[in-house]
Structures are given as structure tokens and as C-alpha cells.
Structure 1
Amino acid sequence: MPADRRTRLIAFPGQMDGVFFRNELPYLKEEFDEVIVFAYPGNEDECRELARVFELEYHIVPMFGISAFFRSLPRLLLDKTVRNEAKGKNPKQLGYMLLYLVWADMVERVYCDELISDKPTVLYSFWLSRGAYAACRLKFKFGLGKAVSRAHRYDLYEEQNAANYLPFRRFLSNSLDEIHFISDDGMRYFAERWGDGSASLMISHLGTRPFDYVKKVRPKDLICIASCSAVIDVKRLDLIVDVLEKIDLPVFWVHIGDGDKKSEIEEYASSKLRPGSFEFLGHVDNGELASVFEKYDVDFFVNLSDSEGIPVSIMEAMSMGVPAIARNVGGNGEIVCDAAGGLLLDEVDAYAVRVYLNQRFSLDAYEQLSKRARKAWGAAFFAQDCYPSFFKQLSR
């Protein structure tokens, strides 16, 4: 073991039981001797089980606390960084900024009470949001080791936020040691706006593990397409409905995922599509995803979102040999392209989608799409390659 190995990791995953962070846990534990997690509230039973299996210490920090709120208010007057951040902000943006301050204060309180140590420490936030801000605060106040964050989509693209604002971008750019973007598009976006800070900017893809199921190519007379996302406005499931309405091919659509727009999009699909030509499954545990793809014999995966990083759902589909169709937004073009057996759409074009789907009825053509999709996933988005190198970088 190298003498300078950092033995303690303090992680800020958002929700500890979220699938993205759970994908990292096996690799994270290989690189650090001690792992402490500060997380948002989630499924307590799952958090407890993850802590047991991976031998983690975890602290659930509420999203907001009244006493911490009153402790945070003086910072608006006394902390120069906070005063500068507050200038010119509207009430909604100030409220969002206060959420960062309050959560970081609650994290500091737990750290002071229970976790002060002279062990070499890395601070790691899975999202470039309040966890990253709290990590920087701990780093400076307690003289800890380096602070690192990933950056994805909602935590990166300001125009996608309801307040058209993400707090403390300048502070994070100057205070984090490294920011790891999941896509080239994301890194370019941040660099154009905040890239003159001291943080090192680099690409570190997310990855997925292979499923037991891999697509079996056989003759079919019905094409099955799948989508997988929260049922919310930005995911644009309505566009999938609009495309399917215009395609004169035998197509069945299955959607995996739940959300507050589920009833609305089901009604929209019912008004546009043939009865029995679609099904909304609601929430499906990640461990059951492959069985859904196998049960429905999914042929293509579709993502027509307005905004993306690089969707893990596309990686998962391609790992099973299922080619993808996606709009050219965010980092989609870094995984979906002709060389990867996929169809990338600059504009949503029902005719182009029809021509692409029709390849399913040529076994040779479709088999090539399937093989290229799986090969592209394995070349850049295989968890066994992505995560060990990422955590080795963190521990240096």
C-alpha cells in the first residue's frame, strides 16, 4: 500500500439508495479503507442494508432545517463569498442559494460532533450541487484533503433549472480540486462559463455492469421499443407518442418509470395510439430491468428528452445489445451514433425513425446494429473499466 494513500472518503451521493451511487459502491470500497456518507433522506431500510453490506458509516441529513436556517442567515451579511453570490438574485434564486447554505451548515454540525479526524481525507460529491458546496466548506474549515465532484445534467445546465440558476458556480470552480464531467458536452458548457477557476476539469464516464440478458436476434413481425425515465416534462414522452402515431409499422411501446405526469401522458397516448400498442409499467427496480427487456423482447431503446447528460438508461440498453434512438442533446451523441448502431436525431423526424426501425425485419441488418451497440457500450461505458480508474484518480 502506498505510504501516501488517502484512507478516508467522505461521500455526498444525494440519495444514498439511488441507483447511480449504488453502481459505484463496489469499486469505491476497493480504493478507500473508510467511507463516510452524508446523504439526503431516502429508503431507510435500503440505506441501512447498503451500509451493512459495504461497511459504510452514513448520516442522513434532512434537506432543510429551521435551526440551521437561522444559523445560516448571518452568512448573507458576514461571508464575502455569500454576499457576492447573493448580488442581483431574485427571491427564488436567493431561496435556492439558502438551501445550499443550510444543508452545508447541517453537515458541518454533524462533522464537528462526530467525525473530526486527522486521517487523510478525500471529499467526493456525486452531484455538482449542495454536496459539492458542503465538501468545499469542510475542506477549508477543517483543513481536509482534496474535494472532488462529478457533474451530470440537472446540476450543470443552468437553463434547465426552474430558477434559471445554480448556486455557487464560481465558488465551486475555484474551490474544488477536480470536477469530473460525464460528457464532453458538459465539460465544454462549464468551461465556457466558469472554466477559469483553479479546479481541474476532466471527463469521467459513468458506467454500467453487464446484465445476464443479451438480445437474441430472431425473426419477428412486431417491433418492441422501450423507454426508461421519470415521467416528467423534460423527458418528452409526448414526442414518442407523436412519432409512433405517424409510423405505419407494427410497433409496441413499453415505458419503464413513474412520475407526476404519468396519468397525463397515458391519456395522451390513449388519444393518439391504437389500443393495446403501449404499456406503462411504472417503477421497476434496476435489478429487474433485464427481465423486462427479455420478457418484452425489446428491439430498440428510445430517448427523446429535451436535456440529458449521457443517460445510464441508454448504456444499460446497449449493454444488452439493444440499439438506441436519441435526440442530439447533451452528451447523447457521445454514445448514440451510427458507429454504435444507433440513430441520433438533430430534429425529431418520424420518417427517419421509421426507416431505422424497419431494419428490424432484416436479420442481418439488425444483428449488425445490435452487435455495434453492445461493442460501443463495452468500449467506453463498462463499469469495470470506468469506476476503478475514477476512484484511483480520487485517491491520489
Structure 2
Amino acid sequence: MKNLLLKTDANMKARKVILFTRRFPYFKTEAFLEAEINILAEAFDEVVIFPSEISEEVRPILANVKVEKEFSKHFQNKKKRILQTIFSSFFWDTLWKYKSKINSADSFKHIFQFSSSVIAYKTYFKNYEFSESDLLYTYWFTEATKAFIDLKKTKKFKLVSRAHRYDIYEGLPSTPAFWPFRKDVLEKIDKLYSISENGKNYMETKYKVYNKIKVSKLGVFDKGKTAPQNVENEISFVSVSRIDPMKRVQLIADSIVNFAKLNPEKKITWIHFGDGKERENIKNSIPVLSNLKAQLNGAIQNTQIYKYYEENPVSIFINLSSSEGIPVSIMEAQSFGIPVIATDVGGSGEIVQNETGKLLSANPSVSDVNLAINQILSENLSRQEIKKFWNLNFNAQTNYENFVNDLKSEVFLDEK
């Protein structure tokens, strides 16, 4: 890999990245880390992962990536954590500091859970031997980041974090009303990497901290394929997300049903990849139409989605979420040259532009979605141009190489 292997320079110190995740490499979540982890591992001598939750299901990782399981046992000991939190001055100080924001049971619960997680990290890692050349990387800009900001008072290490959606935007139906200590953490962290310009602008505007946040977009790898196009009078839609109210999968279903009713001469297919409690209810809401085939699959591996794109025609990818960072699912679709319809929330406007699809308002109607479908079908967007846009903006190889090089040039500047 170009410009990455600074570790081969005999004059450079050994470098280690200590990565804090929720579940990765366990379960199926944090799938976007699968693209990033190998480039991190290639660029640094060692990567150590501390997930807060583990399972029997583990994804393959490179030889120099080590997974520490003991912390998860500590973190998942809920009874002990409750007692530690109740008798902790940190919790009561936090409660007092944010007493004006406590207007419901949910806001109290949020402070309690936040404090409990911070205490869990600080308790476990206060005796951990960090090296001055270690880079601590919290994959989410939440409790772990606050904990290591506090530990930086007595320990020497570099600290960076990523910020996505849930850990950026406040006060949305799908996000906390507020994040405690945000301005303090922003001022003291070595660097925060937002996955979108929108997220960076949001935090800088809200907290007036301008010198700590950089944009580092996520990405997916090129599979070297373009999704086949439909034959005449056949239209196929794909959507990919978990099924919960924020993702508005029911609105996707209603829109496609409406489109099918208005176009009885067309053979229409809708495939959804992703699971959730409302999957059966959405299935049952779809009427039997002679020209519509709808299939709601459960959660599957990304590799199966790629295989579907390689082997099946896809006319349009649809995402109608009420809140987003920048959806990796859209990056995946664009990497196969598939046009996209999406709502203008979070950073979605940075990936869905005129040459790649149609950007709807944050709260579109069924008729708005249908208008966008007809526009895309009539414009016959170039799949090569869509793929070109993806390659310039969301290619994992480029984005993660740039990210790693930035870690070395910015975070380790004092070592050169």
C-alpha cells in the first residue's frame, strides 16, 4: 500500500492502535469496520481491539489484530456497574451539572447510563499500561471518549475518535436529547473525525470548537462489478437497513405499492435486506398485486448483498430515513452503479447528487417518492458516472489510506 508502511522505517517508534468498539469483530454490527480494519492493520505494527460486547460469532481479522475479551466481561457486569454508579461522585456531579436538562425519566436514564459507561471504562483502564506512542481510537464519540479524556490527565497517549450520526446529532427522535461534556471533550481530544461535512458543521456551530474536527468519510471496496439493468417494463428496487421507525421502511413499502398500482403494465420487484420487529407487520401491509413481488429478507452478511447486486438487475436503491450520517448502504449501491433515492438528512446530500440520483425532502410523501422514481427512470442515469462519483468520494481504499496517513501526519507529527 502506498505511503502507509511508515513502520518499516527503522528510526520510527513501534506504533500500536488500541481500538474501542461496541461489538466488532463479533456479531454482524459495525460492518463498516470490516473495510477499515485491514488498512489500519497494514499501517501499524499492532491493532488491539477492546469490544464492549462479545459473542461466539467472530469475523476474520489479520494476524496482527488482537482482540481483548476481558473488558467485555467487566463492562457487561450490569449489577456491579449499577452499584459503582450509585456510589460514584462522577455520577452525582454529572447529575448536578446537567440538572436543568433533566425533564423526564429518559433524560435521567441517559445520564445514569452515560455515567455508568464512563465509570466502567475508567475503572478498567486506570491501571492499564499505555505507551506514549499508543494511539487510542474510540470508534464512537460517546462514553469511552469521555473516559479516556479523563484518563489523559494522568496517562500519556494520543486519543482520536470517529463521529457518525447517533453520536453527533442531539434532540432527534432517534438520538439522545444531549451528550454530557461534549464541549470539554472536543477541546481536549487530539482529533475527532466526522464521517460527513454536515456532522462537522453541526458540532462546530453548536460547540464553537473549530480546530479539532476533520472530515474522514467511510467507504466500501470496489468489487469490480456493475449491477445489471432491467429489461423494458421491469423495475426492481432494493433497500437495506434495520427495520425501525427511523428507517421508515413502511414508507418505502407504501411508495412502491403505490407505484405498482399506478403502473400495472410494469413488472415490479422490491427486495429489502435487514431485520426488525416490524418486518412481519410491513409484510402484511403489502396487498397482493399481480405486478408486484415484495421480499423482506432478514439481516444478512454484506457479501450476500454484493452477490445480489452482481447477479440481479437493480433499477433504484431507496433510503427514506428520518436521520442519517452518510449511509454505507448507499455507498455499496453506488459502487455497483445503482441510482439512489434518499431523504435530505444528515450527510445524505453529500452522496446523493444530480448525477447519482434524487434527493428528497426530509419528510417526503408517497407522491414525492413516486415522482423521483419516474424522474430517475426517464433520465436513465449513467451507471458509469455513478460509479465514477463513488470512486472519487467513497472508495474505501482511498478514504482509509487517507485516514491512516492523517493519523500519522497529524497525531504523530511530534515524532517526526
Please indicate, yes or no, whether the TM-score normalized by the shorter chain is above 0.5: yes
Unmatched runs of 5 consecutive residues or more in structure 2 = 1-8
Match of 2:114 among 89, 100, 121: 100
1:370-381 equivalences under 5 Å are 370-381=383-394
Determine the structure 2 residue equivalent to 1:55. 65
Alpha-carbon distance between aligned partners in 2 of 1:39 and 1:153, rounded to the nearest angstrom: 20
Amino acid in structure 1 at the alignment position of 2:68: Y
Amino acid in structure 2 at the alignment position of 1:244: I
- For residue 122 of structure 1, report the CA deviation from its aligned partner: 1.3
CA 1:180–1:205 in 2, change beyond 3 Å: closer, same or farther? same
What is the TM-score when the length of structure 1 is the normalising length? 0.87
CA 1:146–1:318 in 2, change beyond 3 Å: closer, same or farther? same
Stretch deviating more after TM superposition (116-125 or 231-240): 116-125
Query: Is the Cα–Cα contact under 8 Å of residues 65 and 102 in structure 1 kept in the other structure?
Result: no
Determine the structure 2 residue equivalent to 1:166. 179
Query: Is the Cα–Cα contact under 8 Å of residues 91 and 116 in structure 2 kept in the other structure?
Result: no
Match of 2:271 among 254, 261, 271: 254
- For residue 4 of structure 1, report the CA deviation from its aligned partner: 5.6
Query: Is the Cα–Cα contact under 8 Å of residues 166 and 175 in structure 2 kept in the other structure?
Result: no
Query: Is the Cα–Cα contact under 8 Å of residues 229 and 257 in structure 1 kept in the other structure?
Result: yes
Secondary structure in structure 2 of the residue aligned to 1:153 = coil
Q: CA RMSD in A?
A: 2.6
- For residue 64 of structure 1, report the CA deviation from its aligned partner: 5.4
Determine the structure 2 residue equivalent to 1:9. 17
Determine the structure 2 residue equivalent to 1:383. 396
Query: Is the Cα–Cα contact under 8 Å of residues 26 and 54 in structure 1 kept in the other structure?
Result: no
Unmatched runs of 5 consecutive residues or more in structure 1 = 360-364
Secondary structure in structure 1 of the residue aligned to 2:226 = coil
What is the TM-score when the length of structure 2 is the normalising length? 0.83
- For residue 344 of structure 1, report the CA deviation from its aligned partner: 1.0
- For residue 286 of structure 1, report the CA deviation from its aligned partner: 1.0
Residue 206 (str. 1) matches residue 192 (str. 2): no
- For residue 274 of structure 1, report the CA deviation from its aligned partner: 5.5
Determine the structure 2 residue equivalent to 1:338. 354
- For residue 166 of structure 1, report the CA deviation from its aligned partner: 2.8
- For residue 176 of structure 1, report the CA deviation from its aligned partner: 1.6
Amino acid in structure 2 at the alignment position of 1:254: I
- For residue 185 of structure 1, report the CA deviation from its aligned partner: 1.1
Residue 127 (str. 1) matches residue 140 (str. 2): yes
Alpha-carbon distance between aligned partners in 1 of 2:290 and 2:402, rounded to the nearest angstrom: 48
- For residue 102 of structure 1, report the CA deviation from its aligned partner: 2.3
CA 1:5–1:380 in 2, change beyond 3 Å: closer, same or farther? farther
Determine the structure 1 residue equivalent to 2:307. 291
Alpha-carbon distance between aligned partners in 2 of 1:124 and 1:135, rounded to the nearest angstrom: 10
Residue 153 (str. 1) matches residue 183 (str. 2): no
Residue 21 (str. 1) matches residue 33 (str. 2): yes
Determine the structure 1 residue equivalent to 2:3. none
Secondary structure in structure 2 of the residue aligned to 1:159 = coil
- For residue 378 of structure 1, report the CA deviation from its aligned partner: 0.1
- For residue 380 of structure 1, report the CA deviation from its aligned partner: 0.8
Residue 191 (str. 1) matches residue 204 (str. 2): yes
- For residue 170 of structure 1, report the CA deviation from its aligned partner: 2.4
Secondary structure in structure 2 of the residue aligned to 1:387 = helix
- For residue 79 of structure 1, report the CA deviation from its aligned partner: 7.8
Stretch deviating more after TM superposition (75-84 or 341-350): 75-84
Which portions of structure 1, spanning 4 or more consecutive aligned residues, are displaced by more than 6 angstroms? Answer: none
1:231-251 Cα shifts (integer Å, max 9, x gaps): 110001122122223323322
Determine the structure 2 residue equivalent to 1:353. 372
Query: Is the Cα–Cα contact under 8 Å of residues 226 and 383 in structure 2 kept in the other structure?
Result: no
Determine the structure 1 residue equivalent to 2:323. 307
Query: Is the Cα–Cα contact under 8 Å of residues 24 and 387 in structure 1 kept in the other structure?
Result: yes
- Count of aligned residue pairs for this structure pair: 383
Determine the structure 2 residue equivalent to 1:220. 232
